[in-house]
């Protein structure tokens, strides 16, 4: 279980290692990530304004006991690992730039 503000780096690290998430975003981009975490069944989102010890305990208990979330996170972990990370992203960008050069763009 990873309690997070849902920044992209921490979210991707948790998914890489197959860890379910409980997100309480602080900024708009984190809110978008937290909503997506919930939509994909990778964890739950809590509104920061509504965050209490009781709501956190309830949400952590719900996520830790949810087999569907564990299954979804394991599947996403495989996807993240097979994507190739930063090296694959850099190669894709270089390939795209090379293609643009070859076309004279």
pLDDT tens for each residue of the chain, 105 residues long: 999 999 999 999 999 999 999 999 999 999 999 999 999 999 999 998 989 999 999 999 999 999 999 999 999 999 999 988 888 888 999 999 999 998 886
pLDDT score for 84: 86
pLDDT score for 86: 82
Q: Which residues have C-beta within 8 Å of that of residue 99, sequence separation ≥ 6?
A: none
Q: Name the residue ranges covered by the structural domains of the chain.
A: 2-103
Q: Which residues pair with 3 in a beta bridge?
A: 22
Q: Give the DSSP letter of residue 44.
A: E
CB-based burial of residue 6 (10 Å sphere; 0-12 exposed, 13-18 middle, 19+ buried)? buried
Residue holding tokens 């708009």? Answer: 28
Q: Which residues pair with 44 in a beta bridge?
A: 22
Contacts 24+ apart (CB under 8 A), 7-13: 7/33, 8/33, 11/37, 12/80
CATH classification number, 2-103, choose in 3.40.50.300, 3.40.50.10780, 3.40.50.2000, 1.25.40.10: 3.40.50.2000
């Amino acid at each position: 279980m990873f309690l997070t503000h849902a920044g992209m780096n921490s979210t991707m690290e948790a998914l890489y290692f197959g860890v379910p998430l409980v997100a309480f975003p602080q900024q708009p981009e984190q809110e978008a990530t937290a909503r997506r975490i919930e939509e994909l069944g990778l964890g739950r989102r809590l509104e920061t304004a509504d965050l209490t010890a009781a709501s956190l305990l309830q949400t952590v208990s719900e996520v830790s006991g949810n087999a569907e979330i564990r299954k979804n996170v394991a599947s996403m972990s495989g996807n993240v690992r097979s994507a190739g990370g930063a090296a694959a992203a850099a190669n894709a960008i270089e390939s795209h730039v090379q293609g643009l050069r070859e076309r004279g763009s």
